[in-house]
Structure 1
């Protein structure tokens, strides 16, 4: 009878261990309604942040500068040495044409001597040196290069700026004040002997300082003064500005015309500067659950 009694005891012990193991295992934490709402709002905000900028806005912005194919082509041009000492200018241009793929077109009566010593340069590198030192302007058209003498030339520039004048003023005034207490006393004779005292408050306002600022901006007047400073007032030089059509006619030397072109290019970048602003409105509603 003893083996039969041990089997129920072992079964009861195993059942007790199983119940104890179930009691020690904790159920996984459940998400509360507040936590679920917060996660939903954060997910919706992340989806809204992925909104793409409209094509109309992107097309209205200034396009990034495109790569210059001429500059890339110059890297593959042949290089040569150019050494001359007081040689005729026509001979120098013939030597540049012999070492490059370009054909040179010289104006009739081009005279002058050139002294250069250049190593490992391209045709356009040599032309830029001759332009800076001796004033020979050139124009590239395909594989042809037209050389111009250093004489007075006329060029037309276009400036897109309205005919307007802006005037503004601002005044700033600093005023200081003070408050003081005043008291006066008086006494009178008599059998009883008595007196009276009066107390009052006085405000004093004193003007400290005043600053006035006035701005007067006239773009075309400033442009005329700047161009005259670049070109100068030597014989034959002239500047004509047309505010209504935005056209500028300049007659000057080639180097001075290049300076005018660089100045107008810098001014155009400042005038046509654009800024893209992106604004986001976030609305937060607090409730008892938060």
Structure 2
């Protein structure tokens, strides 16, 4: 019994000892943790003190660097931040501080070596937050005339004096001048009056188009205006002005300009926009269709039955009045000329596709599309020369002439950056409708026939605006023609006088409408 009490007493002492030991251990750990936190706080304070002392452009140092140039209350701070996309960003706050000091501080914080010119002068006020070194230097360059370069751990800053820079322009060395004219003349004679009194009956209408494209000379003058180059030579070489600070070599496609950085930036932007404009191209797809109208549609093609969603503009007369009456129709739609459209035209009569040419043109450059047959005809002149002893001599002179018959179209297209197109268009369709003999009496006396072709010309000249991919229909050009047909009984119909009883003659009037589909596509 006493032994059990002794064991029980020893167990209670053992438990108390364990509780005491654990309490002492926990207290020791808490004390160490407090000491550790205290040490960390002291370390952080030291780091902050080091960072604060590392600011090499604090107020005291700034006063030492520029004793009388900078007011004591001015302050600046240039501190690097964490790397973002492998490029450090900085915060800069300076007010009326010498530019050299700011550049030195930036180079030191960026861990770069600085080469700076002696002619860098002036003070600067700048605030930048989380910006890279290149952005900050670019902002400084917008305020002060400096030029900088960052390369191989070096920063080079010099004054922005004029320097040469080469620009390369991919454009052909050519000057183009194109001219076209459309004229209409009418004259009404006054019978029984003096011809001088009928002068008021004359009517003459002429439309002249002139396009002059001198790319390199225009670039030369434009750059001279940008850099305000007043030191230009008074002498002109072939109508082109020579400038002292601009050198152009069209054969190499190069322009060399001497000016400062700001002007070089303006020139670079100008050339980029110019080249984007002149390099735009447009593909013109043309389809010329002639519709022989049926009796039910003598008024012409009803476009509302084919393209109800289109827009139409119609006038009573076109520009060519050689064969009246003519009407002009303009249709604009988003659908092109496809097989379904052509088949739909068959509802109004027999259709015939005269031509389907395609041409590509640069912006503001004249293009000519020509699909013709050069028909040859001759004119003969007869001259009778009296010789000696009452002997006459007849001289014949024959001249060769050609006339183009077919389709000719010339156009100039202007394309803006939204792919809107303004086109100056002049299509011409010509064909031979017959021949007439030269009425020269000398040819008749000599039994010489000289046939001159009769040419039918249908053309118009217009200006229109259209979106890329849309289709324009120029139509309504109508013409009446008569076809004489004779049929009869073979042999009997050719008997003189009695043959009329065995043959039948009819005159058929046919009305045709000419349609021109145009689809420009910018690419």
Q: Which one of the candidate residues 79, 93, 104 is aligned to 1:82?
A: 93
Cα deviation digits, residues 31-60 of structure 1 (max 9, x gap): xxxxxxxxxxxxxxxxxxxxxxxxxxxxxx
Relative distance call for 1:280 and 1:251 in structure 2 (3 A) is: same
Corresponding residue for residue 441 of structure 2: none
Corresponding residue for residue 270 of structure 2: 263
After TM superposition, give the deviation of residue 231 of structure 1 in Å: 1.6
Q: d(CA) in 1 for partners of 2:284 and 2:170?
A: 24
CA contact (8 A) 2:177 2:210 kept: yes
After TM superposition, give the deviation of residue 233 of structure 1 in Å: 2.5
After TM superposition, give the deviation of residue 107 of structure 1 in Å: 3.6
After TM superposition, give the deviation of residue 86 of structure 1 in Å: 4.4
SS at match of 1:268: helix
Gaps of at least 5 residues in structure 1 are 1-72, 183-203
Gaps of at least 5 residues in structure 2 are 1-83, 192-199, 232-242, 286-335, 345-523
Q: d(CA) in 2 for partners of 1:280 and 1:175?
A: 36
Relative distance call for 1:97 and 1:238 in structure 2 (3 A) is: same
After TM superposition, give the deviation of residue 143 of structure 1 in Å: 5.6
Corresponding residue for residue 126 of structure 1: 136
Q: Which one of the candidate residues 115, 121, 126 is aligned to 1:106?
A: 115
Matched, 1:224 2:220: yes
Matched, 1:149 2:156: no
SS at match of 1:261: helix
After TM superposition, give the deviation of residue 280 of structure 1 in Å: 8.5
Relative distance call for 1:277 and 1:106 in structure 2 (3 A) is: farther
Q: Which one of the candidate residues 162, 175, 179 is aligned to 1:169?
A: 179
Relative distance call for 1:285 and 1:269 in structure 2 (3 A) is: closer
After TM superposition, give the deviation of residue 103 of structure 1 in Å: 2.4
CA contact (8 A) 2:117 2:157 kept: no
Relative distance call for 1:228 and 1:102 in structure 2 (3 A) is: farther
After TM superposition, give the deviation of residue 245 of structure 1 in Å: 0.9
After TM superposition, give the deviation of residue 76 of structure 1 in Å: 6.3
Judge which range, 213-222 or 121-130, deviates more: 121-130
Q: d(CA) in 2 for partners of 1:105 and 1:75?
A: 21
Q: Which one of the candidate residues 140, 147, 154 is aligned to 1:137?
A: 147
Corresponding residue for residue 116 of structure 1: 125
CA contact (8 A) 2:117 2:158 kept: no
Corresponding residue for residue 206 of structure 2: 210
TM normalised by structure 1 equals 0.54
Cα deviation digits, residues 134-185 of structure 1 (max 9, x gap): 12122344664432312121111111111111111122335568899x9xxx
Matches within 5 A, 1:37-48: none
Cα deviation digits, residues 103-130 of structure 1 (max 9, x gap): 2532442430222131415223321222
Q: Larger RCO: Structure 1 or Structure 2 (Cα < 8 Å, ≥ 6 residues apart)?
A: 1
Q: d(CA) in 1 for partners of 2:284 and 2:156?
A: 47
Q: d(CA) in 2 for partners of 1:74 and 1:234?
A: 46
Q: d(CA) in 1 for partners of 2:155 and 2:136?
A: 13
Q: d(CA) in 2 for partners of 1:234 and 1:104?
A: 39
Matched, 1:93 2:100: no
In angstroms, what is the RMSD of aligned CA positions? 3.8
Relative distance call for 1:234 and 1:221 in structure 2 (3 A) is: closer
CA contact (8 A) 2:107 2:155 kept: no
TM normalised by structure 2 equals 0.32
Q: d(CA) in 2 for partners of 1:210 and 1:138?
A: 60
